[in-house]
Structure 1
């Protein structure tokens, strides 16, 4: 799913990852709820969170959904998956594998087919998105759904200018991902959701210093410190308020609809 530098970034961040992602108490339940809603998840669905990290969103989705089958938390980082707990909750099953491993059939999954899967902000780590998304689509049961949650091509985060410019340079276009899902034989659509973030400025600066976004791992310590100085000048306010906007790219395999399949 990602090169050694990015994988190392997440290995180092694993122990404090959740702290950096929980902007506020409502963020994770909000995002998990949007994922559950977009995928139309039902209690009998066989579900995988591809690139799950610490299982932050899968855990909340399981809490909301009460699934009969454990949600598969698939991630190449053992350090991240270890944050699920030992043993992990009964409704979550850690799988040490990358998106490519699942797509190519190298990962041993407990389900022959999946009814739903999501990739939350991990598609940009995939080396060959078109090929990998096609392989993931092939793992879907008839009526199965695949959701790619990703940032738009541009963001309004209060980051330093060089980070924003590099983001735009590296970030895939959601419309291109939608095209990949169509090419994989899925009926696909693109929509957007938005959530207002309010976060203490000093906490956010600390998150940037800890490189909470993998994008920030491409900057040296001195570049990060210079960027933080720039942010402090640009944002003297004690609480940062900015929109967190996400593209939801949803694909569905033709065949028996999920509602008919699960009797919802």
Structure 2
């Protein structure tokens, strides 16, 4: 199995990232709305998107919430953050750092406490998820909320079989993340949301070839070519239709805000 540096993977993908992740015009608004609902966001909240990438969801949330305090777009990849714009759009502030950097205080934030933060599809990159999530939870104000958005332990994407198998080997179970947040003395809840994706077959194959998921960075070019050949045979239909299902793990710090 070929292992690539995760930060290097996103540095390489940065310029094309939005193209790969905007499956259709309704995807980002749909996911952003689910994040806003789960965190009960308001304009007065001090908010952070940890592992924001190019700020796809933070930008949408800022447009909807109109925050009094800029949303902190936190990511270790400067190339990804550059896609947000320089200077950042109104309502956003860029912070170069990883979740671990923020949790351990190696990178400072402009807000002493946060009222809400989310990590979308980045928790599997944490080397010590329990420790990092506990430290992030400690940054919350009383009544503050944390949301971990992640894929479940199995997915129904039209990927080749070796990719699906490797995903199941590497993906943490949402129940484990829930237990980490409970250990941080948060009131926790696990729910699921689902969105139907419709992607042109050739578009999706290009996304896979470009390694749009970090999982795919563990495959060599030759392995990817073989996998895409397998996908072509299994999916002759011009448009691929499949469910995108997510676990939403929410934790709330006890006390009044």
Q: CA deviation at 1:90?
A: 1.8
Q: Check if 1:169 corresponds to 2:169.
A: yes
> Which aligned pairs between 1:205-220 and structure 2 lie closer than 5 A?
205-220=205-220
Residues 4 and 218 in structure 2, CA contact (< 8 A), matched pair in contact too: no
Q: Distance in 2 between matches of 1:117 and 1:4?
A: 28
Deviation per CA, 1:84-117, whole angstroms, max 9, x where unpaired?
A: 1111112010000000011111111000000000
Report the 3-state secondary structure (helix = DSSP H, G, I; strand = E; otherwise coil) of the residue aligned with 1:169: helix
The residue number in structure 1 matching 2:96 is 96
> Which aligned pairs between 1:225-244 and structure 2 lie closer than 5 A?
225-244=225-244
Q: CA deviation at 1:4?
A: 6.9
Deviation per CA, 1:217-241, whole angstroms, max 9, x where unpaired?
A: 0000000000000000000000000
Q: Check if 1:114 corresponds to 2:111.
A: no
> Which aligned pairs between 1:123-142 and structure 2 lie closer than 5 A?
123-142=123-142
Could you state the TM-score of these two structures normalised by the residue count of structure 2?
A: 0.98
Q: Distance in 2 between matches of 1:246 and 1:150?
A: 6
Q: Check if 1:17 corresponds to 2:17.
A: yes
Q: Distance in 1 between matches of 2:202 and 2:161?
A: 18
Report the 3-state secondary structure (helix = DSSP H, G, I; strand = E; otherwise coil) of the residue aligned with 2:83: helix
Could you state the TM-score of these two structures normalised by the residue count of structure 1?
A: 0.96
Deviation per CA, 1:37-92, whole angstroms, max 9, x where unpaired?
A: 00000100000000000000000111111111100000000000000111111201
Q: Distance in 1 between matches of 2:46 and 2:74?
A: 13
Q: Distance in 2 between matches of 1:208 and 1:172?
A: 22
The residue number in structure 2 matching 1:201 is 201
Q: Mind listing any 5+ residue stretches in structure 2 that lack a counterpart?
A: none
Q: Mind listing any 5+ residue stretches in structure 1 that lack a counterpart?
A: none
Report the 3-state secondary structure (helix = DSSP H, G, I; strand = E; otherwise coil) of the residue aligned with 2:162: helix
Q: Distance in 2 between matches of 1:74 and 1:14?
A: 15
Name the Cα RMSD after superposition. Answer: 0.9
Q: Distance in 1 between matches of 2:97 and 2:4?
A: 14
| Structure 1: 4+ residue segments shifted above 6 A | none
Q: Distance in 2 between matches of 1:248 and 1:180?
A: 14
Q: CA deviation at 1:181?
A: 0.1
Q: Check if 1:86 corresponds to 2:86.
A: yes
Q: Distance in 2 between matches of 1:104 and 1:144?
A: 19
Report the 3-state secondary structure (helix = DSSP H, G, I; strand = E; otherwise coil) of the residue aligned with 1:85: coil
Q: Distance in 2 between matches of 1:5 and 1:192?
A: 30
Q: Distance in 2 between matches of 1:60 and 1:222?
A: 37
Deviation per CA, 1:147-169, whole angstroms, max 9, x where unpaired?
A: 00000000000000000000000
Deviation per CA, 1:130-188, whole angstroms, max 9, x where unpaired?
A: 00000000000000000000000000000000000000000000010000000011111
The residue number in structure 1 matching 2:43 is 43
Q: Distance in 1 between matches of 2:219 and 2:37?
A: 36
